[in-house]
Amino acid sequence: MPFSPSFPRILTAAGLAALLSACASSTTPPASGPAQPAGGHGQTAFMGSYDANRDGAVTRAEYDAVRKQRFLAGDANGDGWLSEKEYVDEFEARLKQQYAGRQPDERYAQSMKQAHVRFGIVDKNRDGRYTVEEDMAIAERTFKEADANGDGVVDKNDARKP
């Protein structure tokens, strides 16, 4: 007998409820999105950038959701791809959030410079358009690299020895 069409939705709601109650019983401060939205290098930066619910673990679903949200936020004119300006503007919005009122410094300027350089890398076919396909390919590779023990979740167990 086939499942009723609403079955997957019920599962999702149950999963969400479990997630929410897990958050409520945790001792971490209330989640308000990634702690370090502009990221950086290394595992701490990865967690800070993608652990949206701040539970110390980044699931693939969580990671993909954050990336997708960033892509959509960046696509200012809604044509489905990011120009270099859109890409860099989106990054700068997160960087500003991370600076939270602090004045831009040398490091800020350096991060902005890197964002431009990064566009040249992520725009793999160099047509000046950062597409969903290019983003997904990078997402796949980046997550797998971060998930050192390959269990599908990035958490403290994946931290490499310094």
Q: Which residue ranges make up the site for Ca ion (CB under 5 A)?
A: 51, 53, 55, 62, 123, 125, 127, 129, 147, 149, 151, 153, 158
Task: Name the residue nearer to Ca ion (CB basis): 107 or 141.
Answer: 141
**Shortest Å, Cβ 4 to Ca ion:** 30
Q: What residues contact 138, with CB distance under 8 A and at least 6 apart?
A: 122
Task: Name the residue nearer to Ca ion (CB basis): 111 or 155.
Answer: 155
Q: Indicate left, alpha or beta for 84 from its phi (over 0: left) and psi (-120 to 50: alpha).
A: alpha
- The answer to whether 108 touches 136, Cβ cutoff 8 Å, is no
Task: Name the residue nearer to Ca ion (CB basis): 53 or 111.
Answer: 53
**Shortest Å, Cβ 50 to Ca ion:** 8
Residue type at 133? E
**Shortest Å, Cβ 118 to Ca ion:** 13
**Shortest Å, Cβ 154 to Ca ion:** 5
Enter the DSSP assignment of 131.
E
Measured distance CA(33)–CA(29) in Å, rounded: 11
Task: Name the residue nearer to Ca ion (CB basis): 43 or 96.
Answer: 43
